[in-house]
Amino acid sequence: MPVSDKRTVLVTGGAGYIGSHACKALARAGYLPVTYDSLIYGHEWAVKWGPLERGDILDRMRLDEVIAHYRPSAIMHFAAFAYVGESVTNPGKYYSNNVAGSLNLLEAARDHGIDQFVFSSTCATYGMPDRLPITEDTPQNPINPYGASKLMVERMLTDFGTAHGLRSIALRYFNAAGADPDGEIGESHDPETHLVPLVLDAASGRRADVTIFGTDYQTPDGTCVRDYIHVADLASAHVKAVEALEANSATDVFNLGNGQGFSVVDVVQSVEQVTGLKVPVTRGPRRAGDPAALISDATKAKTVLGWDPRFAGLERIVGTAWVWHQKVPSVATLKAKEALA
């Protein structure tokens, strides 16, 4: 028998940044989120709205054990390595975990009769598009193993649908940012590579400065432009996806973004305005493979899923991140506390 009368969703990577916010959104919507996480990059303190089961997606025996116990009706799959630069220098790590691990999970879902699957994909599958905004029909030509690994999983989802009747929704999101508006969870990566927390670290003195890579792009101020989407809005889209699958939606893909572009300079200026602190900046050369601009068209998600992002402005995104940043100690301190627990 199921362990709960609530609709149960297995959330792989539910102790991570986006996964933990999705668990909160699922709980608010009446689901029981069961977090399945190796805790290699996730945090036990971020699991607050359902049970935590520690395990690796490459461990089929452990997956079978957890699925048999909780009998989830759907799987929400976040568990992945996501450092683009590392994927270039160590591609095997990414193909093993992100591709082989996902295949392991899909086969477990098939064997346990789970036919609803929400996948955390990425705009990195598009590579360097030749026109903006990016729609779901934009050609997918990833330029790094991370993006390639996510595209491979999208293709596996299609094939499992054809062969086994799996219905899936892949959500290709742009630059996740911000923190839980209630201040209960937020971003905490080690190493940290996301721009907003890096700029906040520089503003608050946790790091000496923040480097702007490239100031000569064909953009209004010469710096890279990205589409920042609040993590709480991403979480709500995942709930919408589960609800759509419950209503017998066919397999589909959706972009998740604000449809607005903000430059690196825009982010720095927003942090200074929100915090009242000066951000020390260093200017460096372009990084290889950095597109000048990535901006989404998320019309389809809004129309088909009824998704309604509530935190579209950059200041609201930075504001929630700043509240979280002030509330929590540095990542190093958090990891030390976890090691002693």
244-257: pLDDT as tens digits? 999 999 999 999 99
Question: Is 331 a residue whose pLDDT tops 60?
Answer: no
Please tell me the distance from the alpha carbon of residue 78 to that of residue 190, in angstroms, as a whole number: 17
Summarize the confidence of residues 211-216 as an average pLDDT: 97
Please tell me the distance from the alpha carbon of residue 197 to that of residue 215, in angstroms, as a whole number: 20
- According to the model, what pLDDT value does residue 340 have? 55
| 8 Å CB contact between 231 and 21 | yes
Summarize the confidence of residues 9-32 as an average pLDDT: 98
Find where tokens 């009368």 sit: 5
Question: Is 1 a residue whose pLDDT tops 80?
Answer: no
Question: Is 274 a residue whose pLDDT tops 60?
Answer: yes
pLDDT digits (tens, 9 = 90+) for 42-72: 999 999 999 999 999 999 999 999 999 999 9
DSSP per-residue letters across 269-315: HHHHHHH-----EEEEPPPTT--SEE-B--HHIIIII----S--SHH
Question: Is 261 a residue whose pLDDT tops 80?
Answer: yes
Q: By three-state DSSP, how is residue 336 classified?
A: helix
Q: Band of the pLDDT at 339, cuts 50, 70, 90? A: low
Please tell me the distance from the alpha carbon of residue 86 to that of residue 94, in angstroms, as a whole number: 9
| 8 Å CB contact between 193 and 177 | no
Active-site residue (options: 146, 173, 217, 228): 146
- According to the model, what pLDDT value does residue 296 have? 98
Q: Band of the pLDDT at 108, cuts 50, 70, 90? A: very high
Question: What's phi and psi for 277, nearest 5 deg?
Answer: -115, 150
Interacting residues of 18 by C-beta distance below 8 A, sequence separation 6+? 78, 120, 176, 231, 234, 235
Second CATH level (architecture) for the domain 7-175+230-256+297-309: 3-Layer(aba) Sandwich (3.40)
Our answer to whether residue 146 is catalytic in this structure is yes
Question: Is 279 a residue whose pLDDT tops 60?
Answer: yes
| Domain parsing of the chain, residue ranges | 7-175+230-256+297-309
Q: Band of the pLDDT at 332, cuts 50, 70, 90? A: very low
DSSP per-residue letters across 94-129: HIIIIIIHHHHHHHHHHHTT--EEEEEEEGGGG-S-
Structure tokens at 28: 């608010």
